[in-house]
Structure 1
Amino acid sequence: MGQKFENRVAIVTGAAAGIGKSTALAFAEQGATVIVADIDEKAGEAVAGQIVELGGKAQFIRCDVTKDADVEAMVALAVNDYGRLDFAFNNAGIEIEHSKLAEGNESEFDRIMDVNVKGVWRCMKHQIPVMLARDEGAIVNTASIAGLGAAPKMSIYSASKHAVIGLTKSAAVEYAKKGIRVNAVCPAVIDTDMFRRAAESDPRKAEYAAAMHPVGRLGKPEEIAGAVLYLCSDEAAFTTGVALPLDGGATSV
């Protein structure tokens, strides 16, 4: 285990799998105590257990980011059990849209916005006051390259990620002089279990996804985790309000 974040406490939402899991493991590897938060209790407990088995410190809490009481309890866990909150990776999100805009429905719209946008807003709403008490902290939100441009057949999802970037930039400016930095990561297609399941049902998705990245491959969860840890580190002390593309060159084409 590393020591970069020794005696620091990090919250990771959506930590049961994919990018969230890799980031929780990476924080722990660098010495942080990790609050592993997810709605998937079995998988989330497994991630926390894996961290402990590797010699790290972690605790799981079930958190549905659409419920304010859950988010409040998640942040309170960090404060009550560890006395502080240094980092937050607000990563929980959903991607359930597969039709053109005029074919969508209001319930789908509301669900995507509630998780992807209000979920991030709820998290920051409770995390920032705790960080203000110590005049320091770093928050990273998961957006997407869909928040930097268009995403055909995913217009609601795209709008939600544009909104995440708006929340990120606004919070960054509001709290810049209070020692709190707020940034976003914008991944392209990442090789997670969720993507693999989608690719198995439609092999063309895998071919298209690889082709959309000039580097010729999908991203790895560990590569996103590395960027999150950098944005939380002292090396990024002058970095706030950034929406960082992690896309294998996709947005450069």
Structure 2
Amino acid sequence: MRFHGEVAVVTGGAGGIGRASAKLLANQGARVVVADIDEASGQESVRQIEQDGNDAVFHPVDVSDYHSVQTLADFTVRTYGGLDIMFNNAGIFGDGAENVINMPVETYRRMVAINQDGVFYGIKAAANVMKERGGVIINTASIYAFIADRNQLPYHATKAAVVGMTKAAALELAKYNIRVVAIAPGMIDTALIDPWREDEHVWNTVQKAHMRRKFGTAEQVANVVAFLASDEASFLNGHEYFVDDGAASFKR
């Protein structure tokens, strides 16, 4: 067991990377709060964790609202007595339909509210709890923080911000024995990219963005999350870790 009753919060825990990470953290001994705006799917994540004989509860959260995120942190402390691992994973992806000239300002603002503000709120709320005994904060960035794609300016901007916030928060929170790291997934086969399945050409093209010409899985990303949350990664801090089969490392 990597964990011995440590308390973990996973935002975006209703599916994809979040669900896979919540299940793995629980399987490895953590007590998990699954947090999401989608209550039905979040409760399903809890059901699957409990079916494996592990400990989890659900709490609703709107990561674009700081009060909602703070309420989540307070609930976690009331329920489990503390917070050791905060996985700021909730996020949305653009549909790629419009370039910056035609894109509504509201599209940009919504992406910032969820992907960028949500991570800031998660860092702030978690740090206020962790400052007494330390902990680990993991943020979901993306390879899109480092490479450009068409019609995805808001997504690029928010994920680059996550990388910057990770480094800054790691420096500021080091004196409290809080580590802050980020993951930068490539194209992971989750519901987030379901629209691409409708076009076989697009689907095949995107798969070729990886060195071994295939998508990653949520479980592969969860393995990295669990490692980063563990004592095995105790000297890793302030960096982003690519989970992308080399997608950000070669010219297509």
Matched, 1:226 2:234: no
Matched, 1:245 2:242: yes
Q: Post-superposition shift, 1:84?
A: 0.8
Q: Post-superposition shift, 1:139?
A: 0.6
Q: Spell out, residue by residue over 1:157-203, the C-alpha distance to the aligned partner (whole angstroms, 9 max, x if none).
A: 101100011111100111123210000000010011332x3133222
**Counterpart AA for 1:115:** I
Residues 93 and 192 of structure 2 are in contact (CA less than 8 Å); yes or no, is this contact kept in structure 1?
no
**Counterpart AA for 1:76:** D
In the other structure, the counterpart of 2:154 is 156
Q: After TM superposition, which residue ranges in structure 1, 4 or more long, deviate above 2 angstroms?
A: none
**Counterpart AA for 1:200:** R
Within the candidate set 179, 187, 190, 2:188 is matched to 190
Within the candidate set 26, 29, 37, 1:28 is matched to 26
Within the candidate set 4, 22, 38, 1:40 is matched to 38
Q: Post-superposition shift, 1:7?
A: 1.3
Q: Spell out, residue by residue over 1:97-118, the C-alpha distance to the aligned partner (whole angstroms, 9 max, x if none).
A: 4122212111001000000000
SS of structure 2 residue aligned to 1:176:
helix
**Counterpart AA for 2:162:** V
- Between the aligned partners of 2:240 and 2:102, the Cα distance in structure 1 is 30
Q: Write out aligned runs for 1:13-162 (5 A).
A: 13-98=11-96, 99-134=98-133, 136-162=134-160
SS of structure 2 residue aligned to 1:95:
coil
- The count of residues paired between Structure 1 and Structure 2 equals 249
Q: Which runs of 5+ in 2 are unaligned?
A: none
SS of structure 2 residue aligned to 1:223:
helix
Q: What is the percentage of aligned positions where both structures have the same residue?
A: 39
- Between the aligned partners of 2:89 and 2:154, the Cα distance in structure 1 is 18
**Counterpart AA for 2:135:** G
Residues 19 and 225 of structure 1 are in contact (CA less than 8 Å); yes or no, is this contact kept in structure 2?
yes
Q: Post-superposition shift, 1:10?
A: 0.1
Q: Post-superposition shift, 1:83?
A: 0.7
Residues 172 and 241 of structure 1 are in contact (CA less than 8 Å); yes or no, is this contact kept in structure 2?
yes
Within the candidate set 169, 172, 184, 2:170 is matched to 172
- Between the aligned partners of 1:194 and 1:122, the Cα distance in structure 2 is 22
Residues 198 and 205 of structure 1 are in contact (CA less than 8 Å); yes or no, is this contact kept in structure 2?
no
- Between the aligned partners of 1:242 and 1:12, the Cα distance in structure 2 is 20
What's the TM-score, normalizing by structure 1? 0.96
What's the TM-score, normalizing by structure 2? 0.96
- Between the aligned partners of 1:184 and 1:212, the Cα distance in structure 2 is 21
SS of structure 1 residue aligned to 2:25:
helix
SS of structure 1 residue aligned to 2:14:
coil
**Counterpart AA for 1:161:** K
Matched, 1:199 2:196: yes
SS of structure 1 residue aligned to 2:74:
helix
**C-alpha RMSD of the superposition:** 1.0
Residues 16 and 47 of structure 1 are in contact (CA less than 8 Å); yes or no, is this contact kept in structure 2?
yes
**Counterpart AA for 1:154:** Q
Q: Which runs of 5+ in 1 are unaligned?
A: none
Residues 8 and 33 of structure 1 are in contact (CA less than 8 Å); yes or no, is this contact kept in structure 2?
yes
In the other structure, the counterpart of 1:208 is 205
